[in-house]
Chain A
């Protein structure tokens, strides 16, 4: 009987503590939720405009293509595709702009968890600019392509390339390229 009481006490204390912490977390979540959501939306929006500036973006149905997170038709100009390839430190959330004739207009990275000073250099504008104007399918120099891989971050470079290729393939599959 004494033992049962002790176990009940252990359970009670832990339960109470967990409940209090959960309550506090719910409170913090409720005050930060909107701000976080707004920031993510704003960043995605800015990325869209950065890769292909257009008046309106109309969402496209991406079907069951797991590689494509979102896709938009950017007026008459082309397409904006959001992909999230797996990099060195997790998903690289990025936006790829593709013109109506199937050429890359820009690549923007929304969020990533790559190593600072190595993979994180993929966010540098001069590196991302290499993609502009390319079409069909791209590859890093090590794989015989035209993209110069980041020093010490081949995994990241290949991941970004894969994301870009996924986006290109998706737009190609729509069958509306000029």
Chain B
């Protein structure tokens, strides 16, 4: 098993958001402040690792015909647990992410990894895959949060560094449209283009070396 390759896959070449284009709904909706991005990224990572491990353990027990139903039961179970735990111990985060935590159940990243990786690989490899894909998702969220928060609200780290974060642009400059879904698409488009360009460059370098 190649640890480094999986990390590179998760963050760059096969990033769940900018490579596989999965989980875009939550990416668009919650990336308005750094606090939300980190919280959502970590929640998804934890759920992804747990569901990958359990699905990999059960991969020989679950009959093929009902595999999707079985995966969804496992994923929904973990999501509800995380939701309850957040409500109980991190109420501020749970309030901000609101409906997007329960919606992780139908986040394609998790079902996608269950179907394409955990159902075919061993427990440890699946756990690592879950971690790497989760890290990839978190990295994209954090980048989008920083860009959108800076251009849309003019602050950095709202919720992480104090309630309103550090003001970088003065009040009159920030463009409201960056906070709106439109700004999300704009940021994501640029990010995907950059990742693809970077991947291409990497591939070219490797080919010529």
The docked-state distance in angstroms from the alpha carbon of A9 to that of B33 is 48
Task: With a 10 A CB-CB cut-off, give which of B89, B98, B99 has the most chain A CB atoms.
Answer: B98
> Which residue of the partner chain B has the closest CB to A22?
B77
A-B Cβ contacts below 8 A, count: 76
Which of B2-10, B68-76, B104-112, B124-132 faces chain A? B68-76
Interface size of B by CB at 8 A reads 33
Given A13-B66, A111-B95, A117-B33, A36:B73 Cβ within 8 A:
no
Residues of B within 8 A of A63 (CB): none
The docked-state distance in angstroms from the alpha carbon of A6 to that of B66 is 12
Question: Shortest CB–CB separation between residue A13 and chain B, in angstroms?
Answer: 6
Contact B74 A152 (CB under 8 A): no
> Which residue of the partner chain A has the closest CB to B84?
A32
Would you call the interface of chain B mostly helix, strand, loop, or mixed? helix
Contact B98 A28 (CB under 8 A): no
Residues of B within 8 A of A32 (CB): 84-85, 87-89
Does A137 lie at the interface of the complex (its beta carbon under 8 Å from any beta carbon of B)?
Answer: no
Given A10-B63, A17-B73, A117-B32, A28:B91 Cβ within 8 A:
no
Given A28-B81, A120-B96, 12 more A-B residue pairs with CB atoms under 8 Å apart are A6-B63, A13-B66, A17-B70, A21-B73, A21-B74, A28-B85, A36-B87, A90-B98, A90-B99, A116-B32, A116-B96, A152-B180
Residues of A within 8 A of B (CB): 6, 9-10, 13-14, 17-18, 21, 24-25, 28-29, 31-32, 35-36, 39, 89-90, 111-113, 115-118, 120, 151-152
